[in-house]
Each structure stands twice: as C-alpha cells, then as structure tokens.
Amino acid sequence: MLKSALYHYLHKECDSVAAAYEILQKDSGDADAIHVMRVGVKKLRAFFTLAKQLPEYSFGAGKHLHTARLIQAIGGASRDTQLQEKHLRAYEKKVHWRFSFAHLLLQNKQATAKEMLQATVKHCPLKKLGFLPDKFRAAIADTDHSAAVEALTNYLQQQHRRIILPASRAHHTVWHGVRKDTKALYYQLTILEQVLPSSHTDTLTTHARKAGELLGQWHDTSELLLFTKATIAELKKEKITLPVNASQLVELLERDVKEQLALCAVQLKQLIAVQ
C-alpha cells in the first residue's frame, strides 16, 4: 500500500508540473500555471526529502528535477511580484494613496522575470520528469513495507518536534524558516495520509495546514513591508519628498505584521502541542 501511495502521489504531481510547463511554453506570463509549477516543485522536493528516509534508499532524483526547479525559481520571482503588487494595491486603498514608484519597480521586475522564464522554458525541456515515477517505483520495489512505514513515521515525528515557537522578537528569517518547515511537514503528511493512522495524522495535518496558511499571510505582508521601507529609503536618498500617506502605509503594514505574527504564534502552539 505504501509503495502504491508513493508512486501515485509522485505521478500526480509530475503530471501537474508537466501540464503547467506546457501552458508556460505558450504563455510565460500565465499566473495560474506559474503558481501550479511553483507549488508542484515544492511538493516534489518535500516528497523526495521524505523518500530519502526509506530503508536502503539510493535513488537520485536530482537530474530529473533540475529543469523543473530552475523554472520554479524564475517563475517564483514573477509570481512574487504579481502578488506583491496586488497586495500593495489593497493597502493603498486604506491610505488613499498610490505609491506609483513602487508599482513601477514591481512591474519592471515582473517584465524581467517573464522574459527570463520565456527563454528558460524555450530552451530547457522537461522530458526527464516524465520518466521519474516509473524509475522511482522500480528503485523501491524491494523495500520492506513495515520497515519503511516505521522509518517514515519516525521521520515525521522528528519533523514535528523540529518545529519550535520563535521568540517574539525573533528576526523575520527565523519565522521564515519555521514557515518552510511547517509547509514541508504538511506536504509530507498529505503524501502519507492513505498509509498512516488517521486518528493522529488528521489532527496534525489540520494544524500544520492552518499554521502554514497563517505564516504565508504573514510572510506576504512582511515582504511587502520590507520592500516598501527599502523603496522609501531609496527615494529619500534622492531627496524626493513623499506625502504623509507613505508613513501611514508603513505604519499600517507594521501593525498588520505584528497582528498576523501573533495569530501565527497561537496556531503554532496548537501544532506543537499535538501528541
């Protein structure tokens, strides 16, 4: 059952990434395809991190994922600027001011990322990804089921214990690390949801999903705050006077970052407390 579950999960995610790649070949700016590619590659990376815990596992998936990871990284830059501009517009409505220079910077970044993605998709085929599921299935054909389930269960328990609540004044990079660990744990739990006892994993998966979502919202706001502050600082260097709305925008972002982080802390405590 475990081998079948792993194979079918891998096949599904490879198909999803391949379908997004086909769309990007026609339109490198397709936001939905970029999102699917980005999430799909993250899931594949979480999958193979989990698979490495199998007894006597020696399959190297890196060469099959190289192109997908490259496209995901470049597409991620495009997606980040799209979301950041959308997020910025929502906050601008609250302070009744359009930060035109910030939009110009984001649009330039997005245009550059789109050109890079277009060139990458054009010259980097994704053919190796299609062979990955069957090669993986063959590599784990002789794996002992009971030993594999025990190894993966122990690993997930270790990953759960690895998640700790940062100090209230911890640097944003520390929280970002917790976000990545939480998201990876969630992905890995969903990979094994058909294999592990649901009485324990259902609760853990629910809390990991909620914590990941809240940390994602905090991350988006935090990144926008850092970008806004940096842009304002550059304008001040050029002795460009900004309206009071600029300060209001920063204050609003700082307040929301603090409130969102408090919500993250509450949810993380619940995740950590799951036995």
Question: C-alpha angle with apex 146: 145 to 151, nearest 5 degrees?
Answer: 100
Query: Could you tell me which of 167, 156, 172 has the C-alpha nearest to residue 265?
Result: 167
Residue type, 34: I
CATH number, domain with residue 36: 1.40.20.10
Q: What is the number of domains present in the chain?
A: 1
- The per-residue pLDDT string of the chain (275 residues; one tens digit each, 9 = 90 and over) reads 899 999 999 999 999 999 999 998 888 888 899 999 889 999 999 999 999 999 999 888 877 788 888 888 888 888 889 899 999 999 999 999 999 999 999 999 988 888 888 888 888 888 888 889 999 999 999 999 999 999 999 999 999 999 999 987 899 999 999 999 999 999 999 998 878 777 668 899 999 999 999 999 999 999 999 999 999 999 999 999 999 999 999 999 999 999 999 999 999 999 999 98
Name every residue whose Cβ is closer than 8 Å to that of residue 1 and which is 6 or more positions away in sequence.
145, 194, 195
The residue segments making up the domain with residue 172 are 2-273
Alpha-carbon span 81 to 87, nearest angstrom: 10
pLDDT score recorded for residue 200:
65
pTM attached to this predicted model: 0.90
Residue type, 76: G
